[in-house]
Amino acid sequence: MNFYGLQKLTLLDYPEKVACTLFTGGCNLRCPFCQNSELVIPNLYPEPLDFNQLLDFLKKRSQILDGICISGGEPLLHEDLSLYLKQFRNLGYTIKLDTNGCFPEHLKKLVNDGLIDYVAMDIKNSKKHYYKTAGVSSINLKAIEESVQFLLQNSIPYEFRTTVVKEFHTESDFISIGEWLRGAHTYYLQNFISSSYVLESNLHGFSKEELERFQTILLPYISNTKIR
């Protein structure tokens, strides 16, 4: 496994932590609105980071940074991820994992082994429109549901989040998502923002008023629904 990117400082990605973000390569999904196309399409991968240099950076910043965010791509694609997380742990870092929830057994193992402290799981859409929103012809929804149920048990601090795209999401989708995630601790609506790195062009976000409408729909199901 390689890391292909490093954001040296983030105050937003890891709640209540000063952190950096590391990006893995590869993903089993092809979400049209993905902002990290260079980490999803193999022939677009940048040069991998030198891991020894990365460790040196983390050692030097250990008095400044609290945590490390592991993002992608989809980090749980990589069976050897735990080997790297253990090294980060040994440096004293807390670890947040970003995931699409498609690999529940790997997720559970990392949590049960005490290698991650916080999980941010993407909810692409309502179950009815999941495969289309994820950019694939079929998807193992049972695996995603298993990850959702695991997190809902409060085994670890977590958040669910949805990137909201006008071409893919409607009010009825958020009613369905609310029913699915009922009682979740935290759910974020993230408005889509276009960039040159997005997999598919001509997609659009929603207005502030529209996002607030979605939030209002969700609040009876998830009281801590926020717009990010």
Residue 42's pLDDT band (cuts 50, 70, 90): confident
In the block, which residue shows the tokens 């916080």? 118
Whether pLDDT at 216 is above 90: yes
- Tell me the pTM: 0.95
State residue 199's pLDDT score. 84
Residue numbers of the domain that contains 118: 3-227
pLDDT tens digits, 107-145: 999 999 999 999 999 999 999 999 999 999 889 999 999
Q: What is the CATH number of the domain that holds 177?
A: 3.20.20.70
Q: Which residues pair with 164 in a beta bridge?
A: 191
pLDDT tens digits, 174-211: 999 999 999 999 999 999 998 878 888 899 999 999 99
Structure token pair of residue 221:
């199901």
Q: Count up the domains in the chain and report the number.
A: 1
Cα gap 15→124, rounded to integer Å: 21
Distance of CA 70 to the CA centre of its chain: 9
When the pLDDT of each residue in the chain is averaged and rounded to a whole number, the result is 96
